[in-house]
Structure 1
């Protein structure tokens, strides 16, 4: 079973377009404009990822929706959760591709957090809604012991931390701007 699309509301659709098409390179291919059941209407914008017509990220621009003035677009702020808890991650296939994304984000004026998690290596930034966006490269293989540890953690109630990341670095953009 595959993933077709992730749909999120947009605080500022033009800023989201500049980020997701201009920086991320996802192509805007479709919009659906429809009424919203609770009232008002919306534009549902679909961005194709990697030229694949079965994988999209989509954003709703809402209009005249009841309670619109109180909408919160950062998923973690909306859920009263710690920063970065809810985030979306896209795959890369090489360390060079991961480095290309880090540099591309920095060049676009975005700060980047890089973490080597010991089994995957990630770079993170924020989109115009304030949501954490990640590119991740799997660098290890999963073992039976990994599965056993994960299953055991389902029942644990005390803090039993994983090994610390191999490295963590913040790459500040020289011309940093708020995403």
Structure 2
């Protein structure tokens, strides 16, 4: 289905969401999660709500912890007093393709890598071209990405936006020719 630029503009929200408010996940152990985010990563716990919520026709007791991001958004973790509900609503460990990504500067990325390595974790890094990302898994199985933008990230984003719909159609039509020329392994991927 071809969509004209005018149609794409007409469907766009008048005001895009301003930022991520929070990303929520589950935890079986709030203290273990707090130790990881505060003591290992250095990201502060800023709220712990203890609530009763009406869910699926009954009152459910829950704890919801928020960890602060620099832009005012948060990473949040739920747990439930009822162990059966906790098991039923638990998030399951996902692959690296289901993750939360945070924008950081190089010094912060290095500090996070040092902190988690000292804590016994084994993070890994990928140069995506537009950014270089450090990946690690938290105690709940949630994959985290700490990305440092390429110094030309704004220009890369502009160029990619100009061809985004064409690139999507190309992919949907079976053309798998790589188009990320900013990756250091781009030449290798193109010749593969």
Q: TM-score, normalised by structure 2?
A: 0.71
Q: Which runs of 5+ in 2 are unaligned?
A: 1-17, 186-192
Q: Using the TM superposition, give the Cα deviation of residue 17 of structure 1 relative to its aligned residue in structure 2, in angstroms.
A: 0.9
| Contact 1:11 1:61 (8 Å CA) reproduced | yes
The separation in 1 between residues aligned to 2:40 and 2:157, in whole angstroms, is: 36
| Contact 1:36 1:65 (8 Å CA) reproduced | no
| Contact 1:44 1:61 (8 Å CA) reproduced | yes
Aligned to 2:43, which of 26, 35, 38? 26
Aligned to 1:43, which of 63, 82, 85? 63
Q: RMSD across aligned C-alpha pairs, in angstroms? A: 2.3
**Compared with structure 1, are the counterparts of its residues 119 and 127 closer, same or farther at alpha carbon in structure 2 (3 Å cutoff)?**
same
| Contact 1:44 1:60 (8 Å CA) reproduced | yes
Q: Which runs of 5+ in 1 are unaligned?
A: 77-82, 168-179
The separation in 1 between residues aligned to 2:85 and 2:178, in whole angstroms, is: 41
- What's 1:91 paired with? 103
The separation in 2 between residues aligned to 1:69 and 1:98, in whole angstroms, is: 33
| Contact 2:63 2:79 (8 Å CA) reproduced | yes
Q: TM-score, normalised by structure 1?
A: 0.76
Q: How many residues align?
A: 158
Q: Using the TM superposition, give the Cα deviation of residue 144 of structure 1 relative to its aligned residue in structure 2, in angstroms.
A: 4.6
- What's 1:106 paired with? 117
More helix by share: 2
The separation in 1 between residues aligned to 2:88 and 2:63, in whole angstroms, is: 19
Which structure's relative contact order is higher, taking Cα pairs within 8 Å and 6+ residues apart?
A: 1
| Contact 1:41 1:65 (8 Å CA) reproduced | no
More strand by share: 1
- For each residue in 1:97-146, what CA deviation from the matched residue of structure 2 results, as whole angstroms up to 9, or x when unmatched? 32222122111111111111111111010001111101101113326532
Q: Using the TM superposition, give the Cα deviation of residue 11 of structure 1 relative to its aligned residue in structure 2, in angstroms.
A: 2.4
